[in-house]
Amino acid sequence: MELENIVANTVLIKAREGGGGNRKGKSKKWKQMLQFPHISLCEELRQTTEKDYHSLCEKQPIGRLLFRQFCDTRPELRRCIKFLDAVADYEVTPDEKRKECGQEILEKYLNPTMYEDLKPENILLDDHGHIRISDLGLAVHIPEGQTIKGRVGTVGYMAPEVVKNERYTLSPDWWALGCLLYEMIEGQSPFQQRKKKIKREEVERLVREVEEEYSSKFSDDAKDLCRLLLAKDPNERLGCLGGGASEVKSHVIFRSINFKRLEAGMQEAPFIPDPQAIYCKDVLDIEQFSTVKGVELEPKDESFYSKVSTGSVSIPWQNEMIESECFQELNVLNPDGSIPPDLDWRGQPSPPPKQGLLQRLFGRQECCGNCSDSDEEPTRL
């Protein structure tokens, strides 16, 4: 693939040469040299590419741009994209400015704050030992006086009203807090057991119908708090009785905490992590909390990759197309709104552009290499 990358990068550099004035460094043939393949030539790629949100709408720059252009046409989605962009900015904000940045996001996009995925994996510690909540991908804005509905979250942490697909406001977050506190004390979530597989249906039945059990690890105050947060009926759950967060903060178990100082970052944390250390007994322990397992390429994967020129689909290449405005000028519809020839299934692929000297030279080298290694007829790039 190195040779293909060299060819692709050479073509890009050649396309951006010359042509002063308003052409911004583009040669006369740049559109022809960088044009997209006809849609009929992409059918196999379309069928074999995994169509998940992260890959198509976040990881791939062109896919990300197209997705945002689509969302920009829908008012209800435009706000979501602005929120995701604000969260991305928050992730790279210096610690001393994070509180102000986070507060602005909460006031602008999450008024109220519906997080929907509170669990240990999403709770991080900064260099000072203070909590940072990560992964706001499921967070949703709830308009004042309205409710929402949806089975979202993580199995074992979803509240009964979510499991039963009922309408709700902020109650599932207080339930998840109860699950989190229970797990911090007991060492396992209230409706699952460590290293024991339980079917999703059974976990949801336990959430709906069965009361959690408490061992001797729980003090009376801790048991009382968890029971109040894990009330099956959201109308009886702590945090949902009209006082919101103040109800939880006023519980006797928190009587020694000054929440004003805590929110200002002035309260000293009981544990300050060493940024140079990995907190596990053994590197293999990482597998216990990581959902990413070993990845092996199958023959069909090798076949797929062999048919894709990495030089033309790599992320740096896509970024280059966007930054040079090549993508913007190529990805346009006809003035009357009809699709261009390269997106018309009824049309035929246009003949490839005439190759330059460098392309012919590299193509000839590739051809010679194939001829020397095999008796089969060589294939051209």
Angle at 11 between CA 8 and CA 13, to 5 degrees: 110
Tokens 């999450």 belong to which residue? Answer: 110
Find the largest Cα–Cα distance for the chain: 82
Specify whether 274 is catalytic. Answer: no
Instruction: Let me know: does 286 contact 280? Beta carbons within 8 Å.
Output: yes
Burial 55-82 (b: 16+ CB within 10 A, else e): ebbeebbbeebebbeebeeeeeeeeebe
Which residue out of 117, 127, 233, 375 is catalytically annotated?
A: 117
Instruction: Let me know: does 342 contact 332? Beta carbons within 8 Å.
Output: no
Q: Where are the alpha helices (DSSP H) in 2-94?
A: 2-15, 30-34, 43-48, 53, 61-71, 75-91
Estimate to the nearest angstrom the gap between the alpha carbon of 354 and the chain centroid.
41
Catalytic residues: 117
